[in-house]
């Protein structure tokens, strides 16, 4: 079915005539579940919007492509975007003198004209693309981060640090799409440092306090994360660790990676349900999730009469959590309950 309906025209479902509600970024029928319209993002974002709508037929203009998370996707180039050789309209290569001329024009005028007056935006969106690619974040997180950045830039009177702002937007959008494994502020700062940007957690927290009021309020974003949100991410890190695979062979474990992953996830979720909320409330959910995985491995080994696969050191290396933190949470919280 075509999903290009206007939102205001469809308050009832065109299929079953049920009521339509907004669920995150989609209009969904409560009766049949049909997605009427995707509200996630605009397809593109135009920096210079045309105010005058009374354009005559002769008032033609060309605008460069400015998508919300990329640059130079549309518009005119001299030759192809990265070409060094140029051809005429008959697809014949130009003489060397002409090649030199157009190469000079391409170098001096092509890119500067496209980014004129928007150098900061292009630089920040380029950083966003590199960061999300390095962290293997989904397109939803990347697009949402770019949307938040544009919204804040448009509404805020002053931006103190554009790089820390896009770091805050990445963090904020990752909390909205928690199914894509939430990331911490410390992890974002680490990647920005690797990329050569001086960003620290204080700057991101400062931007959160300052600019949070300019973007969409969402209860799901403001909800604190639970340990359950990190289980899938940590289990994937463990089963994909070469050190863990070697230990499985050394201990004579016949399970496949998928079987071990399924057992760990099931046991972790059941273990977290048995923990009292008052105990969990005082602990870091990120570290507690790692300790629960270490405990779940011990419980699986006890139930199946096999040897444990994880050690505190191997779990620490796979999940990038300090070894003493895993040991502290396990000894003080989990061991008295499950191994009295």
Same fold, 119-222 and 228-338: yes
DSSP letters spanning 90-110: TSPBPPHHHHHHHHHHIIIII
**CA dist., res. 302 & res. 236, Å (int):** 22
Q: What is the pLDDT, as a whole number, of residue 12?
A: 78
Arch. (CATH architecture) of 228-338: Orthogonal Bundle (1.10)
pLDDT class of 59 with cuts at 50, 70, 90: very low
Q: Give the residue extent of every domain in the chain.
A: 7-38, 63-117, 119-222, 228-338
Instruction: Tell me the pTM.
Output: 0.54
pLDDT, tens only, 166-175? 999 998 888 7
Which pLDDT band, with edges at 50, 70 and 90, does 278 fall under?
Answer: confident
pLDDT tens-digit series, residues 210-267? 888 887 665 445 566 778 878 888 888 888 888 888 888 888 888 888 888 899 989 9
Cα separation, 248 vs 118, in Å, equals 54
- Are 182 and 174 in contact by the 8 Å Cβ rule? The answer is yes
Q: Residue 182's pLDDT band (boundaries 50, 70, 90)?
A: low
Q: How far apart (Å, rounded) are the C-alpha atoms in residues 259 and 235? A: 12
Q: What is the pLDDT of residues 60-109, one digit of tens each?
A: 333 334 444 444 444 456 677 667 788 887 888 888 888 888 888 777 66
End-to-end CA, the chain: 58
CB-based contact 143:69 (threshold 8 Å): yes
Q: Which helix or strand (DSSP H or E) is residue 38 part of?
A: strand 35-38
More confident residue, 127 or 82: 127
The domain 119-222 having CATH identifier 1.10.472.10: the answer here is: yes
Torsion sign across C-alpha atoms 288, 290, 291, 292? positive
């Amino acid at each position: 079915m075509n999903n290009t309906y206007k939102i205001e025209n469809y308050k009832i479902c065109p299929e079953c005539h049920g009521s339509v509600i907004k669920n995150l970024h989609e209009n969904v029928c409560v009766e049949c579940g049909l997605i009427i319209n995707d509200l996630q993002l605009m397809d593109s974002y135009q920096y210079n919007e045309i105010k005058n709508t009374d354009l005559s037929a002769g008032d033609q203009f060309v605008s460069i492509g400015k998508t919300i998370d990329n640059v130079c996707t549309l518009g005119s180039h001299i030759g192809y975007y990265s070409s060094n050789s140029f051809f005429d309209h008959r697809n014949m290569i130009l003489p060397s003198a002409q090649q030199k001329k157009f190469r000079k024009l391409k170098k001096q005028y092509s890119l500067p004209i496209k980014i004129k007056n928007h150098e900061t935006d292009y630089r920040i969106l380029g950083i966003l693309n590199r960061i999300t690619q390095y962290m293997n974040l989904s397109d939803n997180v990347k697009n949402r981060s770019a949307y938040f950045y544009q919204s804040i830039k448009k509404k805020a009177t002053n931006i103190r640090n554009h790089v820390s702002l896009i770091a805050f937007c990445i963090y904020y959008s990752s909390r909205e799409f928690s199914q894509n494994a939430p990331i911490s502020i410390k992890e974002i700062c680490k990647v920005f440092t690797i990329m050569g940007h001086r960003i620290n957690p204080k700057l991101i927290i400062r931007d959160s306090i300052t600019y949070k009021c300019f973007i969409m309020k969402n209860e799901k974003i403001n909800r604190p994360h639970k340990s359950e949100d990190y289980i899938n991410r940590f289990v994937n890190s463990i089963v994909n660790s070469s050190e863990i695979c070697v230990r499985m062979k050394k201990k004579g474990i016949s399970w496949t990676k998928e079987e071990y992953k399924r057992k760990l996830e099931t046991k972790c979720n059941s273990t977290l349900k048995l923990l009292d909320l008052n105990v969990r409330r005082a602990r870091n959910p990120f570290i507690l999730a790692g300790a629960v995985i270490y405990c779940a491995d011990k419980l699986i080994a006890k139930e199946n009469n096999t040897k444990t696969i994880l050690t505190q050191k191997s779990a620490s290396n796979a999940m990038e959590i300090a070894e003493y933190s895993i040991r502290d949470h396990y000894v003080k919280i989990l061991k008295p309950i499950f191994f009295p």
